[in-house]
Structure 1
Amino acid sequence: MSLTADLLIHARWIVTVETDGEVLADHALAIRDGKIVAIVPPEGVAAVSAKETVHLPRHVLMPGLVNLHCHAAMTLLRGYADDLALMDWLQNHIWPAEGKHVSDEFVYDGTLIGMAEMIRSGTTTVNDMYFYNSAVARAGLAAGMRTFVGCSILEFPTNYGLNADDYINKGLKERDEFVGESMVTFTLAPHAPYTVSDATFRKVVTLAEQLDLPIHCHIHETQDEINGSLTEHQVRPLARLAALGLLSPRLVAAHMVHLNDEEIALAAHHGVSVAHNPTSNMKLASGIAPVQKLLAAGVNVGIGTDGAASNNKLDMLADTRMSALLAKVGTQDPTAVPAATALRMATLNGARALGIEARTGSVALGKDADVIALDLGALETAPTFDPISHIVYAAGREQVSHVWAAGRALLRERQLVTLNEGELLGKAEAWRLKIAG
């Protein structure tokens, strides 16, 4: 039976992530109208007629990475304030700098630069959280990335909003501008338990249910956060949020570092997804999240980079490797979070957390063609006994050669397709001069 396709990608290996450890050798992927219409074995390739054919004889083809927690615009503050504790970093450095510089232009330029970095690192979906939400959405459309736009909500004023109601109203109004855009989804993003009131959390829960929106929030990031909650509310943050109705399958809880067994069970019971940010947690000395315990309890755990101001790069391959290694050293168990599990966390688990696992996160018939290719023919990844092992433990972002999102090429032979590298470098330098004063 003949098959027509817009694009046919021949690869040395296809890692589907549909089943842990599944590797298809010398298969091809047929894409039509942005969707995967066939995974073709070697003997069936001759029956496929494609408008474009790409041969990747040294490459592994796999799902695009899902960055489950990011502040892309903060790329413009990369390296601005390093080697500091979280609250010192936020209150004395980041928030003052944002107060001086954050604007629609800042967010648009910074997000574009961050997205270019993410694309070159194999990320096709980002769950972002920041201000000037329209600028984030526009950047996502320009870059071609699948973009979840988190409308930050705080009780105190910033350049963007005056109070919680103002943040919410502005975010929902901006959401209306992008109705019908398949690659853009808005979320409600109350910043953290220590910056959001009970009344606001209740309003977020109501709106999320009425509008069927995901919720994205920093939770249990540091021990200081927990101590502050015990002092102010007489309960730990997760218990407070549970009482307010925030815990549900629509919640992506970023960090979740300091958890006891009861809280892990609570997250599992309510279907909460966790965005694990290993590098950011280490750099800010926040601690080691109990990823192995969360997974064992049935909690869906994905991976995020956090922002470039606290990582300092938006490299999901690096954070996937770090997730596996940190789980091992944290538990003193070398079998904790094996490579296939880490890869699923970085792809399908992230998609599941965002409610889009039927569309993306794995290589499967009918799903959107969010796929990336890594060149494993380099000396640094030779010989290749197990492509999944190499993806997690050996390959680097410099080996990401091609990126497609919904079948659209975003990166081809390491060259950006939708964005102009020279223009972005110019924007980055202009902002450096402005911020440095």
Structure 2
Amino acid sequence: MQVDTLINARWIIPVEPYEIILEHQALVIHEGNILDILPQQQAMQKYQAKQVENLGNHALIPGLINAHTHLAMTLFRGIADDLPLMEWLEQHIWPLEQKWANEAFVRDGTDLAIAEMLRGGTTCFNDMYFFPEITAHQAIQHGIRANVGLIMIDFPTAWADGPEQYLEKGLALHDELRHEPLIRTPFAPHAPYTVADEPLRQISTLADELNLPIHMHVHETLFEVSQGERPLKRLHELGLINPAFIAVHMTQLSNSEITKFAQSGAHIVHCPESNLKLASGFCPVQKCLDAGINVALGTDGAASNNDLDMLGEMRTAALLAKGVAQDASAVSAATALSMATINGAKALGIDDITGSLTIGKAADICAIDLSAIETQPLYNAISQIVYSASRHQVSDVWVAGRHCLKNRQLTTLNIQDLQQNIAQWQEKLSSPLK
């Protein structure tokens, strides 16, 4: 049988089933999907491939899913470090956004972020930012899968003048993109402290009607939860907390809140490095997992991380969870890998499409070269990927069968042009605010 691509790999880690490692197998790609996974000798006899990749030192894992990003803010990387969240936002980020956040800013910042993510094995992201139509366009152009949030915030910005226009523009964009195979458009109200009850009620109703997820920062800091009524209680009362709800951060949780959230079927996106850098608190990940909550993984924006490195995020998530739980078995390597892949797909409502190397799913694949001295000797490929490997060992990435990173070279972005654009933004953003 004629097929598009056949990849022979030393290890294939499908993620589903959990903790399974296949050795000396081949993965077959045809028409953008995974057609088969079988022993290499059988694959060579059964299939004639247009392209054969022999990755004898590599592990194939599902493409990583960065379940919470602000891609355009990559242009703010390192611009106001070592500050608490509200000071960082109010005195630095929001004034810069007011002056500079326009279509060109979002386009170039998104390109920079997509380049970084593809080079680190990420094949899907879940974004929340202004000018989502630009983010979606760049994702389509560069061949990466995306959930592009329909932003909502109470105050005016360069994109919309208030809740009514945010909704109007968001719904129009959803309608425009509904047939794009790589793009989904969840609602993305910013946070309980920046969106009033009425817009949230409208979003809740529309999300039910359109079968769309809702992606929102929740319980990010102690300050947020100490301002009267607990935000989670309010969101429960407004009807938002349900299986389509994605709560990002969740660093301030009581045991009763964990239990009630688990009963709702809603999802958490854990952003350990951003939370650590902003001193926002610790999500009790193992408690949440033990309660039955689906916990995914995100980097947050590169302005507060300061990278979009999902391999690094997996390591931090596993190590931090052990410290918080005071239990060395908390968030194992295999669990961290699940959080960065299938759990992210479940949170975004696309686990029927991606998140595991499963026959019939999209060929969203990351290849990691484990032959480097830094990952030797190798006893368990999953542990080595989570605890020892770096993103610089990612050699190849496919999204829906498209080879977006080939032998460390991006195939859909021009690095030289991108670097020139970023240098211009660095000069602009370094100038004093007036």
| Contact preservation (8 Å) 1:187, 1:213 | yes
Matched, 1:305 2:303: no
The equivalent of 1:122 in structure 2 is 121
Matched, 1:217 2:216: yes
The Cα of 1:313 is off from its aligned counterpart by 0.3
Query: Which amino acid is 1:273 matched to?
Result: H
The equivalent of 1:161 in structure 2 is 160
| Contact preservation (8 Å) 1:68, 1:127 | yes
The Cα of 1:130 is off from its aligned counterpart by 0.2
Matched, 1:184 2:183: yes
**Percent of matched pairs sharing the same residue:** 50
TM-score under structure 1 normalisation? 0.97
The equivalent of 1:349 in structure 2 is 343
Query: Which amino acid is 1:393 matched to?
Result: Y
**2:275 corresponds to which of 274, 281, 286:** 281
2:412 & 2:68 partners in 1: Cα distance? 23
| Contact preservation (8 Å) 1:134, 1:175 | no
2:395 & 2:300 partners in 1: Cα distance? 24
The equivalent of 1:112 in structure 2 is 111
Query: Which amino acid is 1:227 matched to?
Result: S
| Contact preservation (8 Å) 1:142, 1:419 | no
The Cα of 1:359 is off from its aligned counterpart by 0.8
Question: What's the secondary structure of 2:147's corresponding residue?
Answer: strand
2:417 & 2:41 partners in 1: Cα distance? 45
The Cα of 1:174 is off from its aligned counterpart by 2.2
| Contact preservation (8 Å) 1:328, 1:335 | yes
Matched, 1:424 2:418: yes
1:398 & 1:166 partners in 2: Cα distance? 42
| Contact preservation (8 Å) 2:252, 2:283 | yes
2:410 & 2:242 partners in 1: Cα distance? 38
Matched, 1:26 2:24: yes
The Cα of 1:83 is off from its aligned counterpart by 0.6
2:36 & 2:211 partners in 1: Cα distance? 32
The equivalent of 1:360 in structure 2 is 354
37-46 or 426-435, larger mean C-alpha shift:
37-46
Matched, 1:379 2:373: yes
Alignment of 1:181-260 (within 5 A): 181-228=180-227, 230=228, 235-260=229-254
2:282 & 2:352 partners in 1: Cα distance? 31
Query: Which amino acid is 1:402 matched to?
Result: D
1:226 & 1:342 partners in 2: Cα distance? 27
Question: What's the secondary structure of 1:309's corresponding residue?
Answer: helix
Query: Which amino acid is 2:180 matched to?
Result: E
| Contact preservation (8 Å) 1:16, 1:63 | yes
CA deviation string 1:270-290 (max 9, x = no partner):
111100000000000001110
Question: What's the secondary structure of 1:126's corresponding residue?
Answer: strand
CA deviation string 1:396-436 (max 9, x = no partner):
00000000000001100000011111111111111111111
Query: Which amino acid is 1:12 matched to?
Result: R
142-151 or 341-350, larger mean C-alpha shift:
142-151
CA deviation string 1:82-140 (max 9, x = no partner):
11110001111000000000011111110111011000010001000001011010110
The Cα of 1:373 is off from its aligned counterpart by 0.2
1:65 & 1:168 partners in 2: Cα distance? 30
2:178 & 2:241 partners in 1: Cα distance? 26
Query: Which amino acid is 2:54 matched to?
Result: H
Query: How many residue pairs end up in the alignment?
Result: 430
Question: What's the secondary structure of 2:27's corresponding residue?
Answer: strand
1:424 & 1:187 partners in 2: Cα distance? 28
CA deviation string 1:235-256 (max 9, x = no partner):
2110100000000111111001
Matched, 1:397 2:391: yes
Question: What's the secondary structure of 1:130's corresponding residue?
Answer: coil
1:175 & 1:270 partners in 2: Cα distance? 26
| Contact preservation (8 Å) 1:220, 1:259 | yes
Question: What's the secondary structure of 2:308's corresponding residue?
Answer: coil
Question: What's the secondary structure of 1:201's corresponding residue?
Answer: helix
Matched, 1:334 2:328: yes
Query: Which amino acid is 1:4 matched to?
Result: Q
**Over the residues paired in the alignment, what is the CA RMSD in angstroms?**
0.8
1:427 & 1:179 partners in 2: Cα distance? 31
1:43 & 1:410 partners in 2: Cα distance? 27
Question: What's the secondary structure of 2:37's corresponding residue?
Answer: strand
CA deviation string 1:297-325 (max 9, x = no partner):
00000000000000000000000110000
The Cα of 1:172 is off from its aligned counterpart by 1.5
1:282 & 1:426 partners in 2: Cα distance? 32
Matched, 1:435 2:429: yes
The equivalent of 1:6 in structure 2 is 4
The equivalent of 2:141 in structure 1 is 142
1:390 & 1:15 partners in 2: Cα distance? 12
The Cα of 1:155 is off from its aligned counterpart by 0.6
Question: What's the secondary structure of 1:368's corresponding residue?
Answer: coil
Q: Gaps spanning 5+ residues in structure 1: where?
A: none
The equivalent of 2:174 in structure 1 is 175
1:254 & 1:93 partners in 2: Cα distance? 22
| Contact preservation (8 Å) 2:8, 2:40 | no
Q: Gaps spanning 5+ residues in structure 2: where?
A: none
